[in-house]
Amino acid sequence: MEISRQFAMEMVKELGVVINQNINFIDRNGIIIASTDVNRIDSFHMGAKRIIDEGLPYLVIDSDDEYTGSKKGVNLPIIVDQQIQGIIGITGERSVVVKYGEIIKRFTEMYIRDNMMRKQQQQDEKIRSRFIENWLMNDSAPHDPYFSEGAKEVGLNPDAQYRIILVSFSQTSKQSMVDRQSSLDQATQFLRTSLCNATGNHTLRIGSVLVFLIEYRVESELKPRLQRIARMINQAYSIDVHIGFENNPSTSMNLSEAYRRVQKALMASQATHVTTVSEYDELYLELLINDMNASTSREFVEKVFGKMSQEEREVAVQWLSVLYLNDGSIQRTANQLFIHKNTLQYKLRRIKEVTGMDPRSARYIPIFTLAIAFSKR
């Protein structure tokens, strides 16, 4: 394994602070690739090259002119998995630095070993993610004669039944780009901890969507659990969470079909523009919405909301979305929107005046529901 300059620099900086001495990391060619003394970076270290060529256990240098490119101090080989990864050098008087030599050597080897393990885990995760993505995208994948063997190699059980959960985020607060990314990272980690807390559960990202492959276990409370998780993220990070899932488990042979169904559930959740958990089995009208062409959708929206200003339209879409999610309850809708119920009732009357349709009437609710969904596509 080649030690990167960035990683080596992180090591020497941390070690230099610990013992308050200049630290160098020399690669297997004898080149200093990281040092707390930046003037020495990229210079040749003859003493370190001698350790590598002769297999020395250490080399103490007592004067700066003893070896080309070297200064007095102690230098030790860093050995991980029975291979020399480089040389660690501590600059200074023999009486001061020799006592640190073995400790710094062990720490550096541990640091590198941990980094190698992390990289291997990341590589394994990348391979597993590619395998799952191919599985979800291609109906023919599980029919490959090597499918079961490949699944087992990446840590998947080809004989298990799985549920698919899809999650996407949309920001609700005006945060800076750095704060927004931090919130998204924390929300993602919270989701992974919450949903992948058992053996057999896996996660990957396809585009902007988080995909959770959950090994099936009898659970009657999945939707309430997903709703709790979504609310917690929304409240903690000011992020709207959109979740689509299917309660029925799928086998390896029909997982790609299940993925397409759950995509439709996620689209239904995203269409609300508020934190929502959508279950495929509960979709009816939404299935038609997903297949409607863009031109017809725009025409329908204009027919319903065309007499409103852009600002009025945006407010109407948001408030009606929440109203219908709360089954027409004025009080619950007002609470969720953080407005007084009289304000909401005034807005509903205003919508009726402008559109000529009562958004609380059973006759017009399907029309507004379609218009809301189309306007958010």
- Confidence band of 243 (pLDDT split at 50, 70, 90): very high
For 292-375, which CATH class?
mainly alpha
CATH of domain 5-112: 3.30.450.20
Judge whether residue 173 has pLDDT over 70. Answer: no
Q: Are 300 and 371 in contact (CB under 8 A)?
A: yes
Contacts of 236 (CB under 8 A, 6+ apart): 186, 187, 190
Q: Which residue has the tokens 């979800």?
A: 136
CATH topology of domain 159-290: Alpha-Beta Plaits (3.30.70)
d(CA 247, CA 270) in angstroms, rounded, equals 19
pLDDT of 296: 87
pLDDT tens per residue across span 67-124? 999 999 999 999 999 999 999 999 999 999 999 999 999 999 999 999 999 999 999 9
Q: Are 259 and 164 in contact (CB under 8 A)?
A: yes
pTM of the model: 0.74
Stretch(es) of the chain classified as CATH 3.30.70.270? 159-290
Residue 25 carries which side chain, given as an amino acid letter? Answer: F
Which residues sit opposite 179 in a β-bridge?
A: none
Judge whether residue 274 has pLDDT over 80. Answer: no
pLDDT tens per residue across span 279-325? 999 888 777 777 778 888 889 999 999 999 999 999 999 999 999 98
pLDDT of 113: 95
Return the C-alpha torsion angle 90, 92, 93, 95, nearest 10: -40
Judge whether residue 131 has pLDDT over 70. Answer: yes
Q: Which residues of 60-70 are buried (b: 16+ CB within 10 A; e: fewer)?
A: ebeeeeebebb
Stretch(es) of the chain classified as CATH 1.10.10.2840? 292-375
